[in-house]
Structure 1
């Protein structure tokens, strides 16, 4: 079942460039720890490459491929995945309750990653491939066994992330604090401990993801209208956000599609 408010295409700036790509829902205990599993598989001709700029969700990913198990922190800028030759990866978009148990300082992981020494996990996932569903089950079982059930703080952190990542009506941190019935300070400290980003940064990322998707998919909608509906001060504010994070303007992005 698809989680309300979560769009799995959001943040993928050029969907037509994707290789074979599978996204799967977690089930059971894993659903409190993982938003979804993503599994790309590719086999490119010699010398060819596939480049995919990604405006990622404000969350961490646990990624297993043929060579390593890596924990990737949330990002504050555009990232790019470059695929060559043949290969695969099995990734889990982690919920805050899981990240807080896998790393004690998520803010140190922002815009970076670290390798985890889990050779048994890598071998088990590799043995399950190319069956994406079987491989995701292997990774889910490891996450559940390693992390355990969410703590009360983890459940609150999940609720914070769900709200900031999905609710377009939340434009200010004060709005989120009021909705969740906690103080702004509590919200800020919780996001820092479990995601590594501020609540304001998470709101800005969700809004820019929504803007990019609408600019691409609604060619007849004026940019000024999109800016106003998403809470930007004006079209110039939208343009500045695009340029600062993506490196190009909304007009240039629309023209590319």
Structure 2
């Protein structure tokens, strides 16, 4: 079953990206849904290069890219830990990606010997984590032209991997979901206490199972919301939005937004407004 295409949280310049690529999300096989949020598939054929920018989620991604016009132009497999800052990927010519977005906490059951923070800020060949993620595996996943075959190949690959269900992983997933959906969560100490944990225990849980701190998650989801508001309508009351998102004042929102996205929120809103140049999205970095 195809998942929602319309959730653009974290995508900088979503209109610019979705006008240039064919983007889909699909649910994994039912036994995998405890660990995997969705598969994401992107195909493009661009006359002009385009830089895609993403404000990352607290999630590890396993990707199978194929840049068809590059030399040697072979599919490959990569594991990307949670990026520290803005994630940028330049799309050129013709290509495609089949991606697996693990749930926060969902990657650890596949790699119980290492904390997820080991991969934070790093991208590495997937075979270093999953020895069966060979070039042949990547080719079998990303080469088919239809989504059904690609999704079936992703399911088959992940279902064959050993994994160990872990209640602590489930707890980490639930805690991050709470942060993502509840904007009253603003202080790590209060959040830890509400769940019967010490701050240190909560931080250790997030480092081991999510790869980033609870404070990182709180701030990152604020920026996701600010991006959605900035791109959705003109004339935003930034002071009110800052208060709604839990910032002490507008200046703190502007500082975090600018540091993360690369431009102040007012400039981003102006670029995202209807009629703004579609190419402006390539200037944010």
TM-score, length-scaled by structure 2: 0.81
Structure 1 residue 100: deviation in Å?
1.2
Structure 2 counterpart SS, 1:9: coil
Aligned length: 253
Q: List aligned pairs for 1:102-117, cutoff 5 A.
A: 102-103=110-111, 104-117=114-127
Match of 1:40 among 42, 46, 56: 42
Structure 1 residue runs of 4+, over 4 Å off?
1-4
Inter-partner Cα distance in structure 2 for 1:170 and 1:137: 38
* Secondary structure in structure 2 of the residue aligned to 1:146: coil
The residue that corresponds to 1:50 in the other structure is 50
2:108 corresponding residue in structure 1: 100
Q: Would the aligned equivalents of 1:33 and 1:150 in 2 still touch at CA under 8 Å?
A: no
Partner of 2:238: 223
Quick one: structure 1 residues 165 and 134, their matched pair in 2 at CA, closer, same or farther if it must change by over 3 Å? farther
SS at match of 1:98: coil
Tell me, yes or no, if the aligned pair for 2:62 and 2:101 is still in contact at 8 Å: yes
- The structure-2 alpha-carbon separation of the partners of 1:195 and 1:126, relative to structure 1 and needing over 3 Å to count, comes to same
Structure 1 residues 213 and 2: CA distance shift in structure 2, 3 A: farther
Conserved? CA contact 1:107–1:192, under 8 Å: yes
Q: Deviations over 1:73-94 (max 9, x none)?
A: 1022111121111111111111
Query: Structure 2 vs 1, CA of residues 109 and 231 (structure 1 numbering), >3 Å: closer, same or farther?
Result: same
Aligned mate of 1:121, from 137, 142, 147: 137
Unmatched 5+ stretches in structure 1: none
- Of the candidates 227, 230, 244, which is equivalent to residue 259 of structure 2? 244
Q: How far, CA to CA, are the matches of 2:55 and 2:196 in structure 1?
A: 30
Residue 97 of structure 2 is matched in structure 1 by: 89
How much does 1:170 deviate? 1.3
Larger proportion of helix: 1
C-alpha separation in 2, matches of 1:50 and 1:141: 32
**Contact 1:42–1:88 (Cα < 8 Å) also in 2:** yes
Q: Which moved more, 1:139-148 or 1:237-246?
A: 139-148
Question: Aligned to 1:220, what secondary structure does the other structure show?
Answer: coil
Deviations 1:182-231 (A, max 9, x none): 33222211110112111111111011111111122132321111111101
DSSP-derived class of the 2:23 partner: strand
Post-superposition offset of 1:174: 2.7
Partner-residue secondary structure (3-state), 2:50: strand
Residue pair 1:97, 1:150 contacting (<8 A) in 2 also: no
**What is the match of residue 137 of structure 1?**
152
Q: How big is each residue's C-alpha offset from its partner over 1:4-28, in whole Å with a ceiling of 9 and x where there is no partner?
A: 9xx7310111112221100122341
Match of 1:212 among 227, 240, 244: 227
Structure 2 runs not aligned, ≥5 long: 67-74, 128-132, 273-285
State the distance in 2 between where 1:113 and 1:247 align: 22
RMSD over aligned Cα atoms: 2.3
